[in-house]
Amino acid sequence: MPEIKLEHVTKRWDKFYAVDDLDLVIEDNAFITLLGPSGCGKTTTLRMIAGLETPTSGRITIGDTVVFDSQAGINIPPNKRKVGFLFQNYALWPNMTVYQNISFGLSNIREELPKVDLEARKAAALIRILQKPEDVVKTIQECVDKKGKLDVNKAHIKLIDRYEISIHTAKTLMGYKLHESMDAGTIAKSKAGELEKELENARSKCAAEGCTFNENFEYCRDGRPVTSVRKLFPEEIDLSVRRVARIVKIGMFMDRYPSELSGGQQQRVAIARTLAPEPTVLFMDEPLSNLDAKLRLEMRSELQRLHIDTGSTFVYVTHDQMEAMTLATKICLIENGVLQQYDAPLDVYSKPANLFVADFVGNPAINFIEAKGAQQPDGSLALTIFDGTRAVFRPRSPVALADWFAQADADDAARKAAEAEAAKDKKHVEKGNKDTLFRYHVAKVHELEDFGDEAVLGDEDFVVGIRPEFLSISDNGPLEGEIYSAMPTGMETTVKVRIGEFLLTGVVFGGVLYQIGQKVRLDFEGSHMVLFSRKNGRLIAQGSLDVS
Ligand SMILES: Nc1ncnc2c1ncn2[C@@H]1O[C@H](COP(=O)(O)OP(=O)(O)OP(=O)(O)O)[C@@H](O)[C@H]1O
């Protein structure tokens, strides 16, 4: 499967930059989620890779093929990019059976395909199966009901799934009637003998054309398959339909119409239809959003399995951070058209690149505490939090704060200089949707109206992020608080604790019963607190927060 590369990809409509200078490498066989709030540019990014939207500038490569290059004037159409789509409104054709829905696209394919002897391939498959006639008999007998009646349709499906064969081959196999004979072994031997002869004839015919068969019974000359432009044969279509039906487990519904299926089953048919032409990359735009919560959860795990089974690269758009966290090998988090972080889900969660990422990922949301202070000679930071409480932040790995700020300031200056340089170009269009610093939220009991005033911030202004699971309620905790609200769900309890005017959210494992107003003692546990600069919103370090 190919790697997908985006270089300086921008899409703007007039002054509105939907995607701004995006650089991204989607590794081979990855499951990427494009995540971000509504309107941030996820769908536009997906559509540009797929070829459904033309970027304003930049370059996109899929595998070895440059599919878009604004400077070289390359723009390969979507149907030539070997990609599959699965959208929110996946509408199946209501007047077609499940089988027809899946096979329809395949029957329209007309392209350069190898010359293949399907009869020889079928004979070889049957010879292989007939080596163990007792297994065939057992598989068919599993489809006999309590009254002793054989469900032929079920038996076909069982044989198809068990031996990965087409319906035509399954029917031939059933036609041998091994299950009705007292001596299945002898019949199998004699049938296999006839098939061997057929195979021999096919080989001679192939050799007469100066060719040999490869393992798929494709004609090969000088080691390369002989190809021609043609449509798929019904046998090939059937094998593809059965393969995808097996993957999404809908083999038994092939003759039903969409209206006779549940929402989840319909969804699986839609997935099967997308998978049938074997796309190397599969694009999905919120494909589960029409399903109810339970089904969505079920389908999520199916998609994860599907990713493994197909070995395709998946690119998945969602605004649901839970979905992104649970499905992806890597999350690409976008805000206002700008990439914020591209990392494995747990890294995005525990090492968020900035305040926006920290806030967007995680439910219940991370707690933000404002802090003021400076680095001490031992590397720790002496901070003042809440209304004057003293605390020490100890980074997990050493950080030289003065150097860190110098570097961040230099990066900002370089970016501004690059923007000023770009603005000199006559063709440059100034970005209308400006990137603003994310305004984090500090939870308080009495929240004052936010007038949007920007405080003057310096290198001594910080924000500490504390995930709810690191707030610990323990008898000898150094902080005093009061239970403001408590919501037990059975497995865990979400509590809001009041410290002076401030509110912190914690998650306690188990159904603990707290009284509203109950006094408790608190601590910040472990070394996974995150320290951000208030000035630029960026992550400085992970570490522990000790209150004295
Ligand atoms: N044809 C268009 N003309 C002008 N603006 C557009 C056009 N298409 C999209 N946009 C704007 O580009 C921005 C990004 O849109 P996009 O559909 O990529 O967002 P998204 O992150 O997928 O949002 P959602 O989760 O709501 O689907 C939006 O603000 C949208 O209004």
pLDDT 10s digits, 134-153: 999 999 999 998 888 999 99
Interior/surface letters 76-96, b for 16+ CB within 10 angstroms, e for the rest: eebeebbbbbbbeebebeeee
Q: Is 44 in the pocket of ligand 1 (CB under 6 A)?
A: yes
- Asked if pLDDT for residue 426 goes beyond 90, the answer is no
- Looking at ligand 1, which residue's alpha carbon is closest to its atom 6? 13
Q: Is the pTM of this model over 0.90?
A: no
The average pLDDT across 514-541 equals 95
Rounded CA-CA distance 139/248 in Å is 21
Q: Is 14 in the pocket of ligand 1 (CB under 6 A)?
A: no
Residues 6 or more apart whose Cβ sits within 8 Å of residue 413: none
pLDDT one-digit tens code per residue, 263-274:
888 888 998 898
Q: Is 43 in the pocket of ligand 1 (CB under 6 A)?
A: yes
Query: Where is 391: in which H helix or E strand?
Result: strand 389-395
Specify whether the CB–CB gap between 72 and 246 falls below 8 A. Answer: no
Specify whether the CB–CB gap between 334 and 506 falls below 8 A. Answer: no
- Of 2-11, 73-82, 130-139, 493-502, the least confident: 73-82
Burial environment of residue 112 by CB neighbours within 10 A (0 to 12, 13 to 18, 19 or more): exposed
The average pLDDT across 419-433 equals 83
- Looking at ligand 1, which residue's alpha carbon is closest to its atom 4? 13
Closest ligand 1 atom to the C-alpha of 34?
A: 21
For residue 261 the two structure tokens come to 């299926």
Beta strand pairing call for 313-318 and 31-35: parallel
Specify whether the CB–CB gap between 45 and 22 falls below 8 A. Answer: yes
- Asked if pLDDT for residue 290 goes beyond 80, the answer is no
The average pLDDT across 17-36 equals 94
pLDDT one-digit tens code per residue, 158-183:
999 999 999 999 999 999 999 998 89
**423 confidence band (pLDDT: 50, 70, 90):** confident
Largest CA distance in the chain: 92
The average pLDDT across 35-58 equals 94
- Asked if pLDDT for residue 494 goes beyond 90, the answer is yes
Rounded CA-CA distance 218/308 in Å is 27
Probe target for ligand 1 pocket from 40, 332, 333, with the most ligand atoms within 8 Å of CB: 40
- Asked if pLDDT for residue 88 goes beyond 90, the answer is no
The predicted pLDDT at position 335 comes to: 94
Closest ligand 1 atom to the C-alpha of 334?
A: 21
The better pLDDT of the pair 383, 452 is held by 383
Q: Is 42 in the pocket of ligand 1 (CB under 6 A)?
A: yes
Probe target for ligand 1 pocket from 43, 54, 334, 360, with the most ligand atoms within 8 Å of CB: 43
Residues 6 or more apart whose Cβ sits within 8 Å of residue 402: 375, 459
pLDDT one-digit tens code per residue, 363-392:
999 999 999 999 999 999 999 999 899 999
The better pLDDT of the pair 510, 502 is held by 502
The predicted pLDDT at position 23 comes to: 96
Q: How far is the CA of 193 from the centre of ligand 1 (A)?
A: 64
**1 confidence band (pLDDT: 50, 70, 90):** low
Interior/surface letters 63-73, b for 16+ CB within 10 angstroms, e for the rest: beebbbbbeee
The predicted pLDDT at position 409 comes to: 94
Q: Is 39 in the pocket of ligand 1 (CB under 6 A)?
A: yes
Specify whether the CB–CB gap between 123 and 145 falls below 8 A. Answer: no
